[in-house]
Amino acid sequence: MLETPGSKTSSFAGGAEVLADVLGRIHLSSAVFLRGEFSEPWAFASTDAATLCQIVQPGARRLVLFHVAVEGMFTIRLDSGEQATARAGDAVVLPYCDRHSMGCPDGVPPVPIASLLPMPPWHEMPVVRHGGGGPRTRILCGYLHCDDLLFNPVLQALPRLIHVRPTSDQAVQWREASLRYVVEQADRPGSRGETLLARLPELVLVDCLRQYVEGLPAQQTGWLGALKDPMLGRAIMLLHAQPATAWTVDRLASSVAVSRSVLAARFVEALGVSPMRYLAQWRLQLAANLLRDQPQLGMAAIAERVGYDSEAAFSRAFKRHLGVSPAAWRKGAP
């Protein structure tokens, strides 16, 4: 389980654990850090998501990226018009890798990012340098490859652009220490810190999303808003922690100390599905992970682990949802 600053003391503690767990199921992997060293005036324009995937991680289906301002500031704009200005310590997350431009000050014609990137493969952390020699901006960029999902509540729920400001001294210190570590280790290839370095983009991303969710208004709907709701967050946490339990709406409602009707209504209102439908989707996501990652496990064992009474019941549910049998899906899984 990934832990980030405040995840054990915040009122969002349970939601943070669910968020980290779901992100883990997304199989964030092949993380790439890239350093940007810019001087005013400067600006660059990204490529489309498919082209960036081929540059950063050939064969990737989806990239999640973030930019952290280490020094100076920048403004980022999506083609859709959304924008944010980030200062030192801030991060921006683009969950869908939308085409965007970045720079400082405003109005500088952007150059294509592809013209600035060194040619892959990158055996060390690449550094992008650009600008006119004025005040400096240093940026750390993280690119994370993630698989397409059967059930992806996180990636379905996020806005196109997330601007995260540190919410506490602890968050500032953790992020600054993490970024210093990344920069130091990048200059020491072959060091013992490479395993942690490979996971730091994931940790930074989880921290950013946790802070984003904590800042959502109380009336926020959707999966992320539900994590903040004391009753729904607890119910979701139980379903994620104990997917193989023989849950019913009555049993789940009793576990979170509300009536069956209240729980069912709130689930549909916030998430658009019933509690049992949500559980069924989550079980199939877990099953898909097991089918892909543990080829030694038989179908009966997988069925039992994710809460189905029999292999036949599991196979029917899987095929109904995906259109193919578990065995066929495993054979063609990436």
DSSP labels, 240-274? HH-TTS---HHHHHHHTTS-HHHHHHHHHHHHSS-
pLDDT band of 108, cuts 50, 70, 90: very high
pLDDT tens for each residue of 123-172: 777 889 999 999 999 998 888 877 655 566 766 778 899 998 877 677 66
Tell me if residue 84 falls in helix, strand or coil: strand
Phi and psi angles of residue 53, each rounded to the nearest 5 degrees, phi first: -60, -40
pLDDT value for 4: 40
Average pLDDT (215-226) is 78
Q: Which amino acid appears at position 127 of this protein? A: V
Instruction: Assess whether pLDDT exceeds 50 at residue 8.
Output: no
Q: Which two tokens stand for residue 319?
A: 């095929």
Where helices occur in 158-274 by DSSP H, the ranges are: 169-186, 194-214, 222-228, 230-241, 249-255, 260-271
Closest CA to 275 of 288, 289, 259, 287: 259
Span 13-214 CATH architecture: Sandwich (2.60)
Rounded Cα distance, 258 and 196, in Å: 42
pLDDT tens for each residue of 83-101: 999 998 899 999 888 999 9
Q: Which sign does the torsion angle of CA 206, 208, 214, 220 carry?
A: negative
pLDDT value for 6: 41
Q: Which helix (H) or strand (E) holds 67?
A: strand 63-71
Domain boundaries, the chain: 13-214, 229-334
pLDDT band of 119, cuts 50, 70, 90: confident
Instruction: Assess whether pLDDT exceeds 70 at residue 179.
Output: no
pLDDT value for 140: 87
pLDDT band of 250, cuts 50, 70, 90: very high
Instruction: Assess whether pLDDT exceeds 60 at residue 7.
Output: no
Average pLDDT (225-237) is 88
Q: What are all long-range contacts of 269-272, with beta carbons under 8 Å and residues at least 24 apart? A: 269/221, 270/221, 270/222, 270/223, 270/225, 270/226, 270/229, 270/232, 271/222, 271/223, 271/226, 271/232
pLDDT value for 159: 86
pLDDT tens for each residue of 46-77: 998 888 888 777 777 778 888 989 899 999 99
| The domains spanning 13-214 and 229-334 adopt the same CATH topology | no
Average pLDDT (240-245) is 92
Cβ–Cβ < 8 Å for 47, 111: no
Cis, bond preceding 41 (omega within 30 deg of 0): yes
Average pLDDT (262-290) is 92
Average pLDDT (231-235) is 91
Rounded Cα distance, 111 and 300, in Å: 55
Q: Which of 159-173, 228-242, 284-298 shows the lowest mean pLDDT across its residues?
A: 159-173
Tally DSSP H helices, then E strands, for the chain.
13, 11
Rounded Cα distance, 204 and 207, in Å: 5
Average pLDDT (38-45) is 97
pLDDT value for 221: 73
CATH 3.20.20.70 fits 229-334, yes or no: no
pLDDT value for 248: 97
| Percentage of the chain exceeding pLDDT 70 | 80
Closest CA to 186 of 151, 155, 140, 236: 140
Average pLDDT (291-302) is 93
Cβ–Cβ < 8 Å for 44, 103: yes
Q: What's the mean pLDDT when you consider all of the chain?
A: 83
Rounded Cα distance, 116 and 130, in Å: 8
pLDDT value for 103: 97
Instruction: Assess whether pLDDT exceeds 90 at residue 303.
Output: yes
pLDDT value for 257: 96
